[in-house]
Amino acid sequence: MNSKDREYWIQKAIEQAKLNETPFGAIIVDPEGRHVGAYNTTSKDGPAAHAEINVIQLMSQLDVEDPRALTLYSTVEPCPMCMSAIVWAGIGQVVFGASIDDAANFGKQLHISSKQIAELAWYPIQVEGGVLKDECKRLFT
Ligand SMILES: [Zn+2]
């Protein structure tokens, strides 16, 4: 996966976030480029309806044999709830824009990094942050 691909998919996650005028959008992509996307719907669906949780609910549409081949892109670093859901979903790669520390400037956050949770998982998960970070931070303003 090169940096252009990462930026392309984070841009798609940004478009998802803008659909519901929240800072939070997420995309899951399979190796062929098939993808599903979602945004944060907490105002309608309750406090657990983060973008990553919502997109994981759509994951079965991708029909992959091994979810470790999937990459989840998120405008903001997955919170501990979402990162745990990503582990339970078996997703192999996570790429995000703004960090939990960035997001904490605009609201409450649990200060546990996605990498900390990834290290506790029973399979390897690659986590990379800071892709289109400034564009993602701008979604908060
Ligand atoms: Zn979350």
Distance of CA 40 from the midpoint of ligand 1 (Å): 9
Closest among 86, 75, 80, 98 to 53, alpha carbons compared: 86
Q: Which residues surround ligand 1, an ion (CB under 5 A)?
A: 50, 79, 82
Active site amino acids: 52
Give the list of residues 6+ apart from residue 32 with CB closer than 8 angstroms, or none: none
CA–centroid distance, residue 85 to ligand 1 (Å): 9
Residue 30 sits at φ, ψ, to 5 deg, of -95, 175
Residue closest to 73 by CA, chosen among 125, 11, 135, 1: 11
Going from the Cα of 129 to the center of ligand 1, the distance in angstroms, rounded, reads 15
What pTM was estimated for this model as a whole?
A: 0.96
Q: What is the pLDDT of residues 1-45, one digit of tens each?
A: 567 899 999 999 999 999 999 999 999 999 999 999 999 999 999
The rounded distance, in Å, linking the Cα atoms of 39 and 54 is: 7
